Structure 1
Amino acid sequence: MGVIGRKEAFLRVLSTVFLVLTVCLVAFDAQTKLLFYSVVRKATFRDLNALFDLVWIDSAAAVCNLLQLFRGYILPGSKEDLTSNYRYLAWGFCLLDQAAAYIVFAANSAAAQASMLAVTGESSFQWMKVCNRFTRFCIQIVGALLCAYCASIFMAVISSISAYNLFRFYSPKKFLLLKGK
């Protein structure tokens, strides 16, 4: 398959599917309620900044995974050629995978924490519980966050595969020196 292995490609496709599913579940989730007999309130992902950021970060991570999938068609040669001739690109791919995994996990954790405030409320700030009134909206957000954490796990595994593919060409005895052929 060229530069990218089958298992890594499968994990990238799987994480991209979960990221896109998360984005769709969060971005298209909305619920309208009639409050106090005359006030209409609509709950969307734009009401919570962490959910808004989650949509954009997960979208960017999905695009990043797709670009990484297609690097096998863009860069000629095998993994050995990539590491010996394009060593700096291999470092860039590894660091990009690491950064994407960490940023997606951080965005998911921030969205989960902000969503917990919507579930429990905060009496000292006089924030009411949102999920008492918008239950379908909250249930769909929980499903989206579960998909997002599955994508985070897949991206962590991809990141470790990427690190392994980079560092297996270096000598274990001398720090960061390439192995001889």
Structure 2
Amino acid sequence: MGYWAEKTEAFLRVSAILLLVLTACLVAMDTQTKLIMYTYAKKATFRDLKALPVLVYIDGVVAGYNLLQLSRCSVSACYKGEMQSPLLKNLSWVHFLLDQVAVYVVFATTAAATQASLLAVTGSKAMQWMKLCGRYTRFCVQIGGALLCGYVACIVLVLTSFLSAYNLFRLYSPTKFMQLKSKQ
């Protein structure tokens, strides 16, 4: 792998880790308490919407996976060229497929959390669900910011997946794959 590809992959993985951890922390630490009656207080937490705890867990797992991949990148930089070609191809396939799974799982959980959050914003008269965000505005704004971070993390994971695909398919190409022509 080239110098630019190693640095880019490391930068993208660190960015993905930071965004995923930020998303998980914003969602998990979001609470707001409102006084309903004079003595009765109702607290809104991320556990009120069933999709939000799943988002926290998935983002944590994918951040851990990217941390492992980041350590793999730093170790493989030390052993450049010493790995056998069939082993390199097999490991590249595993990394590519795991990166694809990470992107799809994070996107799916973020989309599910967004859908559940939209129900909290709009409510549902047919199911007699009240609008949660009418009462807990700060809670909903923080969840919205966390979901935005989650979608940015998805974009960063897609870019990481592109780089993983490049690293895989360059192994099956001629030696001058994706190189600029030199001036003569």
Q: Same fold (TM over 0.5)?
A: yes
| 1:11 CA displacement | 0.7
The equivalent of 1:48 in structure 2 is: 49
Distance across 2 between alignment mates of 1:17 and 1:82: 33
| 1:28 CA displacement | 0.6
| 1:72 CA displacement | 2.6
Q: Structure 1 residues 80, 93: closer, same or farther in 2, change over 3 A? A: farther
| 1:88 CA displacement | 1.4
Distance across 2 between alignment mates of 1:170 and 1:50: 41
Distance across 1 between alignment mates of 2:28 and 2:144: 13
User: CA-to-partner distance for each residue in 1:74-122, whole Å, 9 max, x for gaps?
Assistant: 4452378465433211111110100001100000000000000000000
State how many pairs are aligned.
Answer: 172
Q: 1:119 aligns with which of 118, 121, 124?
A: 121
Q: What does 1:1-20 correspond to in 2, within 5 Å?
A: 5-20=6-21
User: CA-to-partner distance for each residue in 1:34-64, whole Å, 9 max, x for gaps?
Assistant: 1133321111111111001000000001101
Identity of aligned residues (%): 55
Distance across 1 between alignment mates of 2:146 and 2:74: 32
User: CA-to-partner distance for each residue in 1:11-46, whole Å, 9 max, x for gaps?
Assistant: 111111111110110001100111133321111111
Q: Which range moved further: 109-118 or 37-46? A: 37-46
Q: Which range moved further: 34-43 or 143-152? A: 34-43
Report the AA paired with residue 93 of structure 1. Answer: H
Is 1:106 the counterpart of 2:99 in the alignment?
A: no
* TM-score, length of structure 1 as denominator length: 0.88
CA contact (8 A) 1:82 1:90 kept: no
What is the DSSP-based 3-state SS (H/G/I as helix, E as strand, rest coil) of the residue aligned with 2:33?
strand
Report the AA paired with residue 131 of structure 2. Answer: K
Q: Structure 1 residues 48, 6: closer, same or farther in 2, change over 3 A? A: same
* Structure 1: gaps spanning 5 or more residues: 173-181
CA contact (8 A) 2:10 2:73 kept: no
CA contact (8 A) 1:2 1:72 kept: no
The equivalent of 1:137 in structure 2 is: 139
What's the C-alpha RMSD, in Å, of the aligned pairs?
Answer: 2.1
Distance across 2 between alignment mates of 1:36 and 1:83: 70
The equivalent of 2:79 in structure 1 is: 77
* Structure 2: gaps spanning 5 or more residues: 175-184
Distance across 2 between alignment mates of 1:82 and 1:97: 22
